[in-house]
Structure formats: C-alpha cells, structure tokens
Chains A and B, each alone.
Chain A
C-alpha cells in the first residue's frame, strides 16, 4: 500500500509536518491490553462503587427497570454504528424511529412538535430559554427555585454572554410549589420566559395552568421542565405550556453516573421555526412511497452558521432510541400502570414520615430528619445497605436537615421499611440540633 502511495516508509506519511512539532517519544500510555484485562479492569472499578445497596436517590436520575428488549435493539449494529441520517435512502430505520419518537413525545407532553433530542434535560433548559427569547424579542428569564439546581446553573452558564438576565423566583414554604405572588411581582414586559419544573425538584406537582396564565398575561412564554418522564404516564401533561423541556433518563437509560441521557424540547406548532436541534419529517421518494428525512435544517448550524438557532450537532440519537423502545414496550397501558406503581411505592414510603412540604407528589418527596443531620441519618442507613436521600442543605440553606427521597417501581418493601424505621427512630440521648 505504501508503494501505491509512492512512499517508502510509514514515517513519510506525515512528511509535511514541521520537524519541530513532531512528538519525539512514545506516548506515556501503557501498551495495549487484551479484552480480558480490559473487562477485568472495569469490573474492578465497578466493584469500587456502590454494589448491593438499595437506593432512594432520585433528583433527576431515577432507578427504573430496563426491559431486556431495549439493549437488544440498541445493540444492533445497524443502529449502533450508523451515522446521523443525512443520507435518507440508507437511514430509513433511524429516521422512522425518530419520527415515532417525536410523535410519542408529543403525545406524552401534549405539545404539537418535538425535536429529535437534546444532550440532556439540563442543557435543554437554556436552549428552550434562548428559543423564548427569539420568539418574544425579549431577554429576561424567570426561573423557579424549585427547578433542579444544576439545571439552573447550566441556564446561567449559557445565558451569561447572550444578554439574557436570569432571575430566580421562590417557592411556597409550606407547599413546596411555586410562589405565584413572587412570580407576579417579578414578571414585567421584558420577561421572555417563565421556567418551572413539574414535578419539581422537591417532587411537588406544580400549578402549571396558573403559571401559564400569569406568564401569558405579561406576554411571556411558559417553559415547563420535567426530569421524571414516568410521571407523564399518569399526570396531566402541561398543555398550557408554550415549550416543554425534559429529560428522558427514566425511559430505560441507565443512571451511568450521570450520562449519557437524552433531553427533548417540544412546543406549539407556531414556534416550530425557532426550535433547536434535529427534526425528522415525512415525505415521499421519487416514486411516491412514504419516506422520512431530516428537515428544516435551515435552522441549524451546518447551514445557518453563526445565525443558527443553536450550535447543537451530534447529540443523543441512540439514547433516544432506548426511550423509544421503552415507550413501545410499556405502551399506553403499561406506562400508566408503571406510573401508578411509582405513586403507590412513594406514598407507602412517605406514610407517617415528617414531610417538609404539603403539595401533592408523584414518586419523590422531602422528609425532615427532625433533630438529626441528614448525613447522620444516611450514615446509619449505609450500615444497613441503604443509600438514603439527597441532602437538600447542599443547595437550599433553609432546607438544612431535610432529604429528598424517591421510590420507584424498583423499591422493595423491605428496604422501604428499613428507611422508614431509621427515619422514624427518635435520636437517642443527646439530640443533635439540626443546623
């Protein structure tokens, strides 16, 4: 092959590189390992993580059972090793599944159109806010403090240099739902978007309709965020929202230490041209047969460059396929039954515990540790092979001493009873004052 190229040695393949930029030593990376050694290395790393614990963590990443069919489908090389479907004639498989995905996301969220995916829920939030800015011609965003704190951080990172001021509004101390009065006070004629999450970070189901009315009264769009997609099997979707931005991790996407996940943005038909990300549309081939292709790409960076709706390019297609298979396997009945099981488990777990908020909840809620630090309770639980709740004091000083708990269909009654017992046990002797 070298001879065919007119070369004598492999080193001539980079003869055009200036001598002074060449790496004159081998890379300081150990020589290649066998398949067995690699499997063994990662098995050992896996064993250094939590193994054999029951976990009640949620907060944007949920433990749901993954039907076997999901990995069966996404492991097919034709899906796994294909590219973004620009060449429609040999990508009808991917294109058709994305079209089905867009449809199911619309059915779930009550929106008219949905894109083919975003990186994750957190980055879908700023993309939705940027969209609202383009639609309204205004620049200000109001976001509820009961939206996932890391999502809010991501919004601020994106907004900072785009001339998009971001302001928080509060939640009601008793219910844990958005403070509509605070929202009304902060709305003005420069507000492009109001962002709420439902169920919110505390698990509380928000009054999206009331938020929509307020936002619309001031000419702003309402963006509703979700992190727990299974909730949509049971909850009324946010039909009054203008944009829905969500995270699909619950749909058969492994927690995988925080990624890869898949986000979505769905919206009303009238805002379609401002939607970021890839879209698949139905069309015909030259002989009139139904076919699908990527469409409306004049919104995108490879055509519009610096005037694009977003710089997003490769994102999460295969992960969105996981969600598509999951939605198919559970289907209309299954997703509801699954959601009902989540509701039942979480309400069993919460029964008689000291709850911090009174608002209705789906599968997550906030419990008070009453007189103990969250860390102390969690230490006790770890000894019993249970990973307890998330310490909310980390982001909300006023919620020091409270933990966010989640119970999905995978929560076992025995582990729930252990958690309930530890949380209900009054501290012995000298009570540690909650800070």
Chain B
C-alpha cells in the first residue's frame, strides 16, 4: 500500500521561449548617473550585436511562476528520504545557506587586499585544520571544485611526488568496483589503468593486488568503505603492499560518511584522499552541484599541493605563491569558497562528538534497512554493511523485473530511487544509503514500500514494469533522446 503520498495537482508550464512576448520585462535598472555612450562609436560597429535572437522576454510574475512550477516537478531531500547509494544525500541545514550569504563573505572579491580578506582566509584555515583532524592527514587543499576534480588533484600530486623521486611510473590500479571517475582521472594524468578483480566478499584481494603491484604501478585508487558498502578489512595490509613497492595509496572519500570519528584514513595507510564536501559535509547537491573536493595529504605530498597555500605571517594570513614543487593551479582563485563556508558551519554545528554520533546513526540506518529487506532482496555480499547496503535484483529478475524497474516503482511510493546498476560488479545492483538524518518513521515507510514492491513483482510484474504510474511524465525515452539529440529550443522556421 502506498502510504507516503497521494496525488496532487501540479501546473503545466511552457518553455520560457514559448511564453515570451516582445516588450515584456521583469527587471528595473536605476537611471544612469553618467552620460550614455554610443556603443558603435566606443566599440566599433562590427563589435556590437543587433540583438540576442530569441532570448526570453517575460514579466517578473511569469518568471517566478515559471521556476516555481518547474520546481514542483522535482523530488528533493526536503520532500523525503533520498537513498542514493554513494551520494550521501543527507539533510542540508538551512543555517549553512544563511551564513554563506553573510555580506562580508559572499561579496568578498578574491583579489581584494589580504588585509581585507582575513575573515575569509580564517574560514579556509579552520576548515583545513578540521578536515586534517577528521582524516588523520597532515595538510589539506580546498582548491578542487568537486570530487572528480579532487581526484585529478590527488593523482597529479602522486605523479609529481614520484617524479621528484626520479620515476613517475606508468599505471594506476583501480578495483572493478570503483566509481567511473577513478579510471577517467588516471587517464587525464597520463596513467594507464589496470582493473583489479574484487574477491568474493566484494573487497580488494591482497593476493591479487600483490601480483599486480610492480615497479610500474604509481598508485592504487581505493574507495573505503568501497562501493558495495563494506569496509576493506585488509586495508592496512593493502597499503603495506603498495608502500613496499614505492607506490602510493589514493583513497576516494565518497563514502567518508561511514568513518568520521570512528577511524581515520591517515591512520590506516592512505597517502592522499579527497572528500566530497557535498556528501559527507552536507552542502546541498543542488541538482548536480556545486560541490567541493577537498584533498588531504600526508606530509611527503605537501610540497606539491596547488598554489597558493595560506601562511600566517605576523598574525596575518597571507597567500604563498612561492611553491616551486607545486603541481600548479587546478582552478582559478581559492576553491568553491561558498561551499567551504557551508561545510565548516556543518562541522561547527556537530562538533567532534556530534560528528561521531552522526556516523553511528548512518551505520545504524543502513543496517536497519538491510535487516528488513534481506528477506526480500538478495544481499550482494554477506560482509557487514557500513553506511549503505547493496542488493542484487537476481530474485526479481527471474520474474522479468530489473533494478531499474523497481527504482521507477519506488517513485510511486513517494521516494527517490536508490542508486541503480552500480557498482558494476553486482548484477542488477540496488545500492541504498539512507544517511543519518532519516527518522525511524521515514525508514519504516521506505522498508514497507520496498517489501510491497517485492510482493507486487510476484503478483503483477507487468504493473511494476510500467512504473512510474503517478508522475507527470511516464517513463522517459532516453534512447530516442540520444539517437537524435535535441539539445536546445529553436524557433519554428
């Protein structure tokens, strides 16, 4: 039975371009307090455009209704559980939004004098220090703009470090359970990629690793807990195998929400890692960003961090650009500062003890879901779950219903789907990460929904195959979209 939702009217809405009419406007500019300038004269007629063809023209109320109506077509954490595995869709506290808009922070120009930027630089310094403590690492850069950007930075650091020792080496090892960003990143830094087969517990197999680690291997990129939601129990040994051959250990911190306050990557052999501040540290995902991909390193990699670094000189923060071994910049300015403010606010609200409690709650919620769903869905690996639990659709697939179908049916029950068909090593994967911010009531509704769907599949698989039934659009034809791409609106000829 669908308990969480009932149907509700939502408004139809055209594209902006279809609702435009000439002369409508939604803006006011103050009168110009200086003489107007003739554009053609100042810029040369050839440099001045006639108009912006087909650009929208709508009134203010049309604009707000447009975006409000569109917003109601979305699902968000604010509407309920968002159990996307590996994405850590936890509640986004609104105080973080408020403080990011603090005038002196939001309107700080990156080139304003350092003497007038001390508050912003202090925020960066305090956050770096907190993240170093949480990860057990020695130094942190906040310059990368997102997780994949952090990976790029981390692998650049490894390459620069190995080059400084005389040989950058040739390849990066990536477990077959890894996020796609890992191999894509290795390529961008000029490394070949070698996939490592996971063992039957879903973990890196030290014996397989031992054989793969040669003098050509620069690093292993490992996610821990890995993408099947289990802790790499042999991580210390794994790190030892790499270090013995002069290779480095990169940790993808996408799943750090399972570890904060319990264990620290710096204490189990990791040399460099990234954190997704938009996952573990609750900055809003915003429909696909902005993120922030802090990178934490052990001391031997510190000289290679991107420029600039902050230093305190005579009690004042200053930017240090004199870093001859640095890998260079990975983006302009100092990082996604507005995201950093939000992450620091999150850390302050929790404090050390609160961060640990949040981790335990995240583990509890995932295990609670697993305990109830294991009877209905095949758990992928028997190893204990950390912050997410991963099932396979093999029981349902026998009746012709796949993970993607179950996900679509879940929408009818008022939930966002879990992560579908990832990791690739689990056949028909359902990857469920509830996070710590969900109540028992919400989890129970979700569990009921999943059990109900399992029963529906046995009774009426056809019905599930056609889901969702309650959304304003039914299943979207992604194949047609890719076959003949229409990527922008155009005026009718």
Contacts and interface: CB of A to CB of B under 8 A. Distances in A.
Contacts of B36: 340, 344
12 contacts: A4-B371, A17-B231, A61-B109, A77-B76, A80-B76, A81-B78, A158-B152, A259-B331, A272-B487, A301-B183, A321-B287, A331-B27
Given A93-B72, A334-B27, A119 B475 contact: no
Interface string B471-487: 11111111011100111
B106 A78 contact: no
Contacts of A136: none
User: What size tier do the contact residues of chain A reach?
Assistant: 35 or more
B285 A314 contact: yes
Contact of B152 (A57, A311, A338, A343): A311
Contacts of A73: 64, 67-68, 71
B390 interface: no
A293 B487 CA distance: 10
B74 A93 contact: yes
A32 B348 contact: yes
Interface string A342-363: 0111011000000000001010
A287 interface: yes
A153 B330 CA distance: 8
A104 to B, nearest CB: 7
Nearest to B134: A27
Interface string A29-46: 111110101110111111
A10 B114 CA distance: 46
Interface string B157-198: 001000000000000000000011101111111100100000
Nearest to B286: A318
B376 interface: no
Interface in A64-97: 67, 69, 71-94, 96-97
A60 B329 CA distance: 16
Contact of B27 (A20, A45, A330): A330
B478 A22 contact: no
Most buried by B among A59, A92, A119, A289: A119
A254 B64 contact: no
A413 interface: yes
B51 A336 contact: yes
A148 interface: yes
Contact of A316 (B116, B159, B236, B290): B290
A283 B484 CA distance: 9
B48 to A, nearest CB: 6
Contacts of A205: 43-44, 47
Contacts of B146: 119, 312-315
A308 interface: yes
B184 A38 contact: no
Interface in B448-479: 466, 468, 471-478
B335 A259 contact: yes
Contact of A49 (B29, B104, B306, B478): B104
Contacts of B480: 283-284
A17 B261 CA distance: 13
B275 to A, nearest CB: 13
Nearest to B50: A236
Interface string B41-76: 011101111011111111010011011101111111
A119 B103 contact: no
B147 A89 contact: no
A322 B52 CA distance: 19
Interface stretch (B206-214, B294-302, B338-346): B338-346
A281 B487 contact: yes
A117 B287 CA distance: 12
B445 interface: no
A5 B364 contact: yes
Given A283-B480, A336-B52, A338-B29, A161 B159 contact: yes
A89 B473 contact: yes
Interface in A214-239: 232-237
A117 B289 contact: yes
Interface string B370-389: 11100000000001101000
